[in-house]
Every structure is written in structure tokens, then in C-alpha cells.
Amino acid sequence: MLLFKKNTGLSIEYDEDNNTFLFQKLPVCHNIKTFYQYAYVCINDIILFFGGWKGGYGFNTVVSKLVHKYSIRENKWMTFENTLPSPLYNCVAIWSKEDNHIHIIGGSDKNIAVLTHMKTKVRAWDSSLLSNIETKFIIEYWARKLKIRLGWIDGFNKIIIKYTR
């Protein structure tokens, strides 16, 4: 389990055999350290964070429209140049595997409830995250075009990912 809030990042593992927990501190991106109430979605080995709120009184309140990515495998953060169309916090992000889109639903902007539904392709945030459906269509197209009759070589999946970028 991964936990992020403000400047705290934790990886929590449970060992069922020994009935123990193992905690490991994780780095937190500088741009997101003071924010919370952001939407997040975990896709394979990355977590995408959308928006966020930095509480304060009056003019000290800041609502973010930034998008961040945390790679679990590489233990690295990235802040995207592309942002949300408007600042948003207290919303929900959901990954739809069927059409490979992320849906960002609801939320608030400066203490005003926002009835919103944003839909974005996963590939817009990480081109290496092709869905199985997209990979299948590419493989089928190449097999038809090249008239491949032999078995599939695993290395072709890497070529396909590079091809789609």
C-alpha cells in the first residue's frame, strides 16, 4: 500500500507469515509537498496526481491545476507541463480499462462545488501505458499487413510501444 499526504510518502507492506508491517519512507515531489485533497489514480506502476488544495485563510488558500506522476518502479516524480483546465481539489479520478481513459469527477474550486467530468486518455500522461486492447489492435494490424504466420516474439511488444510514441 502507498500513502501520500502533503510532505509524507510511505510504502506499507504486510508480511502475513510473520504478522508484521514494513514501512519505508518515499520521496515527495517538491511541487506537491504542501498540497492534499488531490485526485489520484494508480495505473500499473505509476500514480497520477491531479490538482490539490493548500489550506489557509482568505487569500492564503491555493488550489492547484498541476498534474504529477510518481513512478513506483523508478521511485521518481515528474510534474507535467500540461495541466488541468481549471484548479481542482476534493475530486475523484477513475481509470477505465475498457477505453483506457481517466475520468476526473466532481470536486471544488476555492470552496465552490464543481459539477465536472473531465475525460483524458491515459497515453496523454504516459505513452508507455498502452492498453491491452490498443496493443492487440496494433499486433493484429501488423500481422495482417506483414502476413506473419509464425509465433509472436515478446520483444515486439517493446517495439510497438516505441512505435506508438
Give the CATH number of the domain where residue 70 resides. Answer: 2.120.10.80
- Residues 130, 134, 137, 138: what is their CA dihedral angle, to the nearest 10 degrees? -30
Number of domains, the chain: 2
* Residues 29 and 108 both lie in one domain: yes
> Which stretches of the chain score pLDDT less than 50?
none
Cβ contact 90:37 at 8 Å = yes
* Residues 102 and 138 both lie in one domain: no
Return the pLDDT at 121: 84
Cβ contact 2:75 at 8 Å = no
Return the pLDDT at 115: 83
**87-114: pLDDT as tens digits:** 889 999 999 888 888 999 988 877 788 8
